[in-house]
Structure 1
Amino acid sequence: MLKFYSFYKQATVGACNIPRPGFWDAVGKAKWDAWDSLGDMSKEEAMAAYVEEMKLVCSPKIVHCPL
C-alpha cells in the first residue's frame, strides 16, 4: 500500500520536500521513505506507475489445485 501512497504523493505534490518524521512516528517515516525513494520521478511517470501497480493488484490470479 505504500507504493500507492508514494505514487499519489509524487503525482500530486512532486518530489518529497518535507523533513523526515521523528523517531517515534514509525508510520510517518515509512510513508516518507516510500515517497522519498521516488526521487525526481515526473507526475506522468507516477500516475502511470500507480495504474500499473493497480493492474497487478486487481488482475485475476489463477491458482492450480493438485487433484
Structure 2
Amino acid sequence: MTQKTGSMRTEEFIQAAKHTHEWGIESSHSTSAGQVEYLRCLVCASRRVELKTTAEQAVLQSRAMGGWN
C-alpha cells in the first residue's frame, strides 16, 4: 500500500527530495518591496516564490564601468 503525503505519493516525495531542482520562472511582477518571481522545478514540478528586493536588483543590474589607474 502506498502512503500519501498531501497529493504526492511517498515514492514521488522521496524522489523529488533527492534531485537538484532546475528552477524556471513561471511569472513575475513588481511590488513595492521588489520583484516577486514564481518558480517551478522543471524536473519535479515543485514550486517556490522568491522576492528580489530593490537593493538586490541594483546589485544584479550594476556592472563595472572602468577602474582607477
TM-score by length of 1: 0.26
Structure of higher RCO (CA pairs closer than 8 Å, 6+ residues apart): 1
* Structure with the bigger percentage of helix: 1
* Structure with the bigger percentage of strand: 2
TM-score by length of 2: 0.26
Q: Which has the larger radius of gyration?
A: 2
